[in-house]
């Protein structure tokens, strides 16, 4: 079994078309992030919103390497995963606000859960690390059924410490399951810096122990993330087993919106994104096209928010539905 | 007023051990539905630490009968993921106790994932959990933990007490779209009894079996306590005291109707299980009986269960912790006289 | 017939929030005994996700107040290992639910290790478990799981319902040589009340607090249900119906004496908890009440608890799942009239 | 943090005295193993006996690298760990047979538990892998109290797959805890060959991912095991953190005594130990001395068995004792 640890900082090449497509996704996520930031600040909302501001390139780059039929287990930070996989933004916001028009029919809200089996969006475990075993299990189904699908599992640098990673990663390698482990390393497990809670510099350093490739990419560069993920996806699709892709990114905001972050002094409480993925992409796309995409993304986000807020709140009757079939 | 046949009359049966009955259910369901598959530690080549899955690797091959490494969170959580994506996993934990090693996966993933995702997903998983004392397996390999599963909504819970039910309930479990915790008593794997031979013998969930009719006292017993209660009932019958013995067979769903109807006739109830008495399933059953039949009760409802202690590893000592047939007999005698 | 002061008369108190009371208990015990230390996720620099441990890092330093990574099995299992070897760990899980992520460590290591090793070892560990609904935390972050702990022998289980008890019970827990699961209600962290200021205010385990005296009905309530039951009692008192409200404070050990004595006077009992009703602690309490006081009962014992469903994530919906003050009031009214 | 993966097959040098001492321990364990084998075969006994025949060199070599005050969390295979740490054989057998003279007062029996806090023998978790977190926790106590102790945690190649390894190993490295992880790799997890359930050749390959040294040694060579363990113990004692020592050994007998091993065809159902640790050691010790030690070990074992069988069975009253203090 091949084992390598590659640390690439380069951007890789990308066709103009690809760059434009990635720009579109990154700016769509960004527009939603900024809008939600404002909305939550002004109106509050019941629940916990974990902003993904600044991490758009990881979500856009990695998910764009998947096909429609591939499965996705997403993490708790932002809505980008599902947005890029094809879910409508008003549905995602409907879930966030606990509205009937959300994909889980009003049962979401707070730390948002959304789902779309048709698009392969399969959910999220509220207990960090439960995605690992679920993802490996889904990949076992794929293998059993002889399907041409790959399973992508997103997780943070913090969740990487869970024992479920070990159990799932070992078994997935032994069975050569079609899984891609995608680590969004934003440098923080809530208030604990990754650097203080990892004995190695990179999460990817742990891949070799599981006999799988581990790659580190610049998580602000969506083209690089996409390329690394695509390589891992192709390997999985070819029946060669799992890989780990670690994207180095930044958590711009608090763990949840409202987190005073007294534990942190590396960043101001602003909206500025250092090494902004949009700026990095702008070098590859025509300015006018980018401007248009920005504008479209903003309208999309605004329309989605409006639509979501118009959706009725869930009917109380649903609380007892869906426990058993 | 006497024991009732384990299998309805007219059904064709063969004598089979409880473990072999489970094996037959697995084989039949895997033949019936290609999506059904298995994993667990040592279930393939070895056929399971208790030999229950012997022969299945040969018939169904290594893709559908998989040995895992020692990773209970994957065995259960992987089953959840597989169930979400079109297959029907039947997994074995070597000991029911290991359910607590995969506590998040059982109680948060299997039990809640469907609900959390608006009912759009389903998790047809069966987790086979060899339960109970077996002679020297110790504190972490001998527990009866079904009450915990009963307390966490989203799971179904089966506890077969006869070979026929072991087969019939497992087949129902595999066809159920919900996650099912299947507590097989590992001390009963070799118990023989009549087992319906047809492929289509299913025991429905939520229907208690009245194992014996009587008018003096309703005994609600599960698992290994069913034969112990029946034996006690025979001894009491010699003195003219006729116990009604009811085996709920599944705790979720729970057939309180049968139990309550019986207590309304007998006026007295004794609930017996191998699990720790404190906060066990018997507490729930007792609480519900008095809620529903308070004005029919002639005496308090009593419960027998394991002492408030872990199971000692010594095979002689472990039997002192769980209810014996003699204790059931004595309690019944005393309660009837109250 | 009315509410009883939260703190015995004559004790010097200050007004403190429930969370600050826990903080004070931690600080006092760490000052008193150098062997006491803490670990958990974000407990050091951040002072805990609920701010409960704020300031302790500054006073006690990074060796005794440790941030772990995301590893619940280590937080609990490591505490067990540390307790075996001469220190007294007080660990925090961010949500009580994560106890199931460390199920093996809590229910097999903490609960059984002493017994399994002939009583030669002891495990003075406190696991702090923020419990209950808090407004939108969802199915895996809002559960009340104390009944599970009650069912597995070897643990002690505390559930403070007032700031004074939060402090007094935690100090007792830290001084107890047994493992203690300490369920702090995260919806009550900001509830203020009188808290004894002395270092030596301990609330003993196994002594229920009668929060209000009455003759119409005994209400046994825990955690968040204590203030809800007291509020319901005030409303009923306006109609001349006087409830007796008893808060057991610890479920292991459980003070059945106080409860039974009360029911013997009132003839009626209602048990209320936030945990799922099915197989909850209320089932055990109800079963024991009728065992001990059957012939004093004028009506069945009723129970209120959460519905048989996970906690929905939506903050409005979650309240529909657990008992409200109005439901307690209505049930009490109906039961008294029965 | 230094990281190395060393695979040594060499025996290392050993003083005559050391070799003699190791011979004494290996032959003591062996004598007990053989005696128990006979006893269990002839008389049966309630419970499960997991024979350690053939693995004596790992247990003797590794435990002899510890001091009296060091802590030991042992595994389920055999009695060698505790015997070498200083517990009396009749006490261990008393535990195995559930007698009052056992260290746990008759509450053991079957898959044996024994304990001796004075000798640092702290117990065993019946759920595989629970030792990892317990051991790291004990090491945290040692660090907090500023004691000069090391914690040794034994585990099999199978138990290495448990997620608790990941959680404990990461935290132990980050906190530089004085732990030594000792893997007895006997090639089997019950019926599953290690080679079929590990994506890498060695368990030690996983050490680098935790920023700790991982060493593979010949587990039949007690001198080599001792040397490797000693290096790890010294590193731990010096405050440099944990290490992993993997000793390659063989499971000669069934998983438990009586296991028909139908899943296995690599070995006969005998008592022959390939690459017998005693034979390897004999090259370094005078034959006469070895013969004397063999004889002494045999008498010790026989006397222990006799003593244990004379101990009274536990009093039924103890079943409710020791739950709470
Ligand atoms: C098992 C478990 N432990 C702890 C938590 C609480 N928690 C939620 S998010 C978080 C930090 C996660 O860090 P990371 O995985 O790096 O993701 P990030 O928040 O940085 O995106 C923690 C500790 C949880 N949800 N589940
Ligand atoms: C959590 C857990 N899962 C499964 C078992 C059952 N079990 C006991 S020993 C064993 C095999 C262990 O293999 P290994 O760790 O290599 O040790 P060996 O028996 O080879 O010495 C298994 C699966 C257990 N005790 N605990
Ligand atoms: Mg992070
Ligand atoms: Mg092994």
Write out the two tokens for C22: 């826990």
State whether the Cα torsion A304-A306-A311-A316 is positive or negative. Answer: positive
pLDDT tens profile C51-74: 999 999 999 999 999 999 999 999
CA distance B10 to B26: 24
Please report residues of D whose CB lies closer than 8 A to that of A165. Answer: 163, 166
User: Long-range pairs for D287-291 at CB < 8 Å and ≥24 separation?
Assistant: D289/D20, D289/D23, D290/D23, D290/D27
Residue ranges of B 145-164 with Cβ closer than 8 A to chain D: none
Comma-separated ranges of CATH 3.40.50.970 domains in chain B: 15-196
Please report residues of B whose CB lies closer than 8 A to that of A163. Answer: 73
Report if residue A211 sits inside a domain: yes
Report if residue A136 sits inside a domain: yes
Residue of the CA atom closest to atom 25 of ligand 2: D127
A1-10, B86-95, B101-110, B286-295 — which is least confidently predicted? A1-10
Q: How many CB atoms lie within 10 A of CB D99?
A: 24
Mutation target for C interface from D74, D141, D242: give the one with most C CBs within 10 A. Answer: D141
Among residues B297, B308, B305, B309, which one has the least CA distance to residue B338? Answer: B297
CA distance C195 to C201: 9
Active site residue B117: no
b/e map C52-70, b = 16+ CB within 10 Å:
bbbebbeebeeebbbbbbb
pLDDT tens profile B113-170: 999 999 999 999 999 999 999 988 999 999 999 999 999 999 999 999 999 999 999 9
Q: Is pLDDT of D174 > 90?
A: yes
Taking the centre of ligand 4 as the mean of its atom positions, its distance from the CA of residue D155, in whole angstroms, is 8
CA distance B335 to B299: 7
pLDDT tens profile B187-234: 999 999 999 998 899 999 999 999 999 999 999 999 999 999 999 999
Place of tokens 């004494």: D24
For position D6, what pLDDT does the model report? 52
pLDDT tens profile A234-262: 999 999 999 999 999 999 999 998 899 99
How far does chain A reach from its first CA to its final CA, in angstroms? Answer: 43
Report if residue D323 sits inside a domain: no
Say if domain B15-196 classifies as CATH 2.40.10.480: no
- For residue B140, the distance in angstroms to the closest alpha carbon of chain D comes to 6
As a residue count, chain A comes to 325
For position C158, what pLDDT does the model report? 98
* Among B141, B151, B185, B273, the one annotated catalytic: B141
Place of tokens 């690439």: A8
Mean pLDDT of the residues in chain C: 97
Place of tokens 């004794």: B270
- The number of the ligand 1 atom at minimal distance from the alpha carbon of A251 is 20
Pairing state between β B192-196 and B13-17: antiparallel
Say if domain B209-337 classifies as CATH 3.30.2320.80: no
Report if residue D76 sits inside a domain: yes
For residue A86, cis peptide bond before it (omega within 30 degrees of 0): no
For position D12, what pLDDT does the model report? 56
State whether the Cα torsion C192-C193-C199-C200 is positive or negative. Answer: negative
Is D263's CB within 8 Å of B139's CB? Answer: no
* Among C141, C151, C185, C273, the one annotated catalytic: C141
pLDDT tens profile B51-81: 999 999 999 999 999 999 999 999 999 999 9
Report if residue A204 sits inside a domain: yes
Q: Is pLDDT of D8 > 80?
A: no
For ligand 3, an ion, list residues with CB under 5 A: A 156-158, 186, 188
pLDDT tens profile D298-323: 999 999 999 999 999 988 999 999 99
Among residues B129, A157, B107, which one has the least CA distance to residue C106? Answer: B107
Ligand 1 pocket check for A56: Cβ under 6 Å: no
The stretch A148-177 carries a mean pLDDT of 98
Q: Ligand 2: which of D157, D158, D161 to mutate, most ligand atoms within 8 Å of CB?
A: D158
The number of distinct structural domains making up chain D is 1
pLDDT tens profile A109-152: 666 889 999 999 999 989 999 999 999 999 999 999 999 999 99
Is A314's CB within 8 Å of C314's CB? Answer: yes
CA-to-CA dists, residue B18 to B161, B172, B219, D297, angstroms? 9, 16, 23, 46
Mutation target for C interface from D134, D169, D311, D319: give the one with most C CBs within 10 A. Answer: D134
CA-to-CA dists, residue D20 to A93, B200, D223, D297, angstroms? 74, 68, 10, 13
The stretch C108-118 carries a mean pLDDT of 95
CA distance C205 to C249: 8
Please report residues of C whose CB lies closer than 8 A to that of B107. Answer: 100
Residue C209 · residue C247 · CB < 8 Å? yes
pLDDT tens profile D72-106: 999 999 999 999 999 999 999 999 998 999 999 87
For residue B253, cis peptide bond before it (omega within 30 degrees of 0): yes
Report if residue D34 sits inside a domain: yes
Q: Is pLDDT of D5 > 50?
A: no
Which residues are paired to D6 by β-bridges? Answer: D215
More confident: B23 or A14 = B23
| Global pTM value | 0.98
Report if residue D319 sits inside a domain: no
For position C1, what pLDDT does the model report? 57
CATH assignment of the domain containing A293? 3.40.50.970
Place of tokens 């309930």: B169
Mean pLDDT of the residues in chain D: 93
H or E stretch covering A252: none
The size of the A-B interface in CB pairs under 8 A is 147
Taking the centre of ligand 1 as the mean of its atom positions, its distance from the CA of residue A151, in whole angstroms, is 21
ipTM of the predicted assembly exceeds 0.95: yes
b/e map A126-148, b = 16+ CB within 10 Å:
bbbbbbbbbbbbbbbbbbbeeee
Q: Is pLDDT of C188 > 60?
A: yes
H helices present in D116-275, as ranges: 130-145, 163-174, 194-197, 222-237
CA-to-CA dists, residue C37 to B245, C20, C40, C89, D71, angstroms? 53, 18, 11, 5, 20
H or E stretch covering B270: strand B269-276
Q: Which residue of D has its CA nearest to C121?
A: D117
pLDDT tens profile D268-305: 778 999 999 999 999 999 999 999 999 999 999 999 99
Residue ranges of C 63-102 with Cβ closer than 8 A to chain B: 97-102
**For residue C200, with 0-12 CB atoms within 10 Å meaning exposed, 13-18 middle and 19 or more buried, which class applies?**
exposed
Q: Is pLDDT of A5 > 50?
A: no
**pLDDT level of residue D3 (50, 70, 90 thresholds):** very low
The stretch A11-26 carries a mean pLDDT of 86
**Structural domain of residue A223, as residue ranges?**
5-308
pLDDT tens profile C119-148: 999 999 999 999 999 988 999 999 999 999
Contacts of B157 (CB under 8 A, 6+ apart): B146, B149, B150, B180, B181, B183, B250, B251, B252
Is A109's CB within 8 Å of C308's CB? Answer: no
């Amino acid at each position: 079994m091949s084992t390598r640890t590659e640390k690439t900082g380069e951007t890789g090449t990308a066709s103009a078309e690809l760059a434009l497509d990635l720009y579109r996704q990154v700016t769509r996520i960004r527009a939603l992030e900024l809008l939600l930031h404002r909305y939550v600040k002004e109106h509050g909302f019941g629940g916990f919103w974990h902003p993904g501001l600044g991490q758009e390139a990881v979500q856009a780059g990695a998910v764009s390497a998947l096909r429609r039929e591939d499965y996705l287990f997403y993490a708790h930070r932002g809505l980008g995963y599902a947005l890029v996989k094809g879910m409508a933004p008003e549905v995602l916001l409907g879930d966030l606000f606990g509205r009937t028009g959300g994909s889980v029919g009003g049962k979401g809200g707070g730390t948002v859960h959304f789902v779309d089996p048709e698009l392969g969006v399969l959910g999220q475990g509220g207990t960090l690390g439960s995605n690992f075993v679920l993802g490996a299990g889904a990949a076992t189904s794929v293998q059993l059924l002889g399907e041409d699908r790959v399973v992508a599992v997103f997780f943070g640098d913090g969740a990487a410490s869970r024992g479920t990673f070990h159990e799932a990663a070992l078994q997935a390698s032994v069975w050569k399951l079609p899984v891609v482990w995608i680590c969004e390393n934003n440098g923080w497990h809530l208030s604990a810096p990754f650097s203080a809670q990892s004995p190695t510099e990179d999460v990817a350093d742990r891949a070799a122990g599981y006999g799988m490739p581990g790659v580190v990419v610049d998580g602000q560069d969506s083209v690089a993330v996409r390329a690394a993920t695509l390589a891992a996806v192709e390997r999985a699709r070819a029946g060669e087993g799992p890989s780990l892709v670690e994207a180095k990114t930044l958590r711009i905001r608090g763990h949840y919106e409202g987190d005073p972050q007294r534990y942190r002094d590396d960043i101001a409480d602003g909206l500025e994104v250092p090494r902004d993925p949009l700026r990095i992409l702008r070098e590859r796309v025509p300015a006018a096209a980018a401007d248009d995409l920005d504008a479209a993304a903003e309208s999309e986000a605004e329309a989605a928010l409006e639509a979501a807020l118009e959706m009725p709140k869930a009917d109380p009757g649903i609380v007892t539905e869906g426990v058993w079939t | 007023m006497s024991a009732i046949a384990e299998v309805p009359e007219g059904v064709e049966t063969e004598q089979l051990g409880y473990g072999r009955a489970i094996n037959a259910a697995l084989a039949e369901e895997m033949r019936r539905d290609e999506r059904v598959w298995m994993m667990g530690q040592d279930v393939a080549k070895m056929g399971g630490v208790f030999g229950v899955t012997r022969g299945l690797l040969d018939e169904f091959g290594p893709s559908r009968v998989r040995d895992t490494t020692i990773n209970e969170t994957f065995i259960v959580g992987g089953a959840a993921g597989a169930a979400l994506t079109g297959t029907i996993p039947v997994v074995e934990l070597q000991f029911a106790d290991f359910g607590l090693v995969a506590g998040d996966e059982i109680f948060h993933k299997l039990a809640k994932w469907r609900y959390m995702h608006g009912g759009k997903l389903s998790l047809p998983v069966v987790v086979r959990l060899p339960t109970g004392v077996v002679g020297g397996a110790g504190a972490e390999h001998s527990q009866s933990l079904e009450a915990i599963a009963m307390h966490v909504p989203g799971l179904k819970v089966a506890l077969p007490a006869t070979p026929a039910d072991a087969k019939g309930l497992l087949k129902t479990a595999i066809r159920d779209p919900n996650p099912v915790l299947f507590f097989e008593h590992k001390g009963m794997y070799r118990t023989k009894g009549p087992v319906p031979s047809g492929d289509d013998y299913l025991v429905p969930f939520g229907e208690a079996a009245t194992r014996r009719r009587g008018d003096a006292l309703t005994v609600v017993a599960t698992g290994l306590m069913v034969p112990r209660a029946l034996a006690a009932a025979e001894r009491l019958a010699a003195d003219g005291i006729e116990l009604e013995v009811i085996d709920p067979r599944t705790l979720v769903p729970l057939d309180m109707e049968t139990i309550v109807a019986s207590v309304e006739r007998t006026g007295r109830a004794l609930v017996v299980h191998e699990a720790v008495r404190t906060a066990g399933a018997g507490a729930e059953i007792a609480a519900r009986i008095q809620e529903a039949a308070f004005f029919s009760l002639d005496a308090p409802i009593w419960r027998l269960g394991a002492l408030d202690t872990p199971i000692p590893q010594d095979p002689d000592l472990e039997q002192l912790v769980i209810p014996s047939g003699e204790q059931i007999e004595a309690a019944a005698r005393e309660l009837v006289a109250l």
